Amino acid sequence: MKLPMTALLLAASLHAAPALAQLPPSTRAMIDAAIASGDPEKVATVLELARSVHADDAAELDAIEIGYKDTQAALAAREAREREQQVRQAGLFDNWSGEGQIGAFRSTGNSSNTGISAGLKLVRKGIDWRHKLRALADYQRSGGVTTREQFLASYEPNVVLNDDLYAYALMQFERDVFQGYSARYAASAGLGYRVIDTPTMQLEFKGGPAWRRTERLDGTASSSVSALVAGDLDWQIAKTIALTQDASAFIEADNTTIAATTGLDLAINSALNARLSYSIEHDSAPPPGAVGTDTISRFTLVYGF
């Protein structure tokens, strides 16, 4: 029977060092069991205990440790190559992850009411490319009358230029009746930079030229060239608490739009979170009859997948 590569490499690590002839069989068996487990912390602990008891065999114990580390490095490199190959061979609908949310909101500004909020975020990470899809909807009808109707959808592909720098493209659609427009389209391209990228915190900024077209409820429409500046922070404060902050600004001569959302996630289980978020959107030159600033407080349940 042909042994798996992992088993062969682990077996090799057990015999990579000179035989510990001077060690008691029980100590050798304990070291072999720790190495076979593949647990680095267990191996380090057992070898440290062996050194404290068998100081004269330090050279042989060092050789075993080096052999084990070399084997682990070879396994890690092999697994990395296999993962890369899987990503390269993945189909269009593979390797997507994301979250869906649904809940309630309370708004102030152009309207003051409560309603339903639903959203979806999808991310697909490849070797050099990352694709991000986002959709968000806030909607309410009271007494047969629509009192809030806001939709947003965006698609952003970006390509890695180096470890921290990437180039992005963005296409976005918005509809907000109470802000006075039936449709607002935006397109942008530019550069992004990952300032922080650790297991517990990610912070990045991006910016570039943009184009926007606004179709208003009164039938008029306008197009303009602007600049987009945006930032994204994800911070895992504790095992069950996470903070998110998204902010963006479309800056143009006639109207600047600033949007920001702060969210606090509390983990219910490994897949389900409770999220409390606060969003603010400001237009420096809103349509006649509309106020410049809208705010929304949402409480949603978020399912990650």
Domain boundaries, the chain: 5-89, 96-304
Which parts of the chain sit beneath pLDDT 50? 1-20
pTM: 0.70
Question: What is the DSSP code (8-state) at residue 288?
Answer: T
Whether residue 280 contacts residue 243, with contact meaning beta carbons closer than 8 Å, is answered with: no
Three-class secondary structure of residue 179 per DSSP:
helix
pLDDT tens per residue across span 205-229: 999 999 999 998 888 999 999 999 9
Per-residue pLDDT at 111:
65
Residue 179 is predicted with a pLDDT of: 83
Non-local CB neighbours of 22 within 8 Å, separated by 6+ positions: 54, 56, 57, 60
**Neighbour tally for 214: CB within 10 Å:** 22
| Topology of domain 96-304, CATH | Porin (2.40.160)
pLDDT at 71: 81
CA–CA gap between residue 153 and residue 132 (Å, rounded)? 11
Task: Convert the pLDDT of each residue in 41-94 to its tens digit.
Answer: 888 888 888 888 887 778 878 888 888 888 888 888 788 777 667 766 666 667
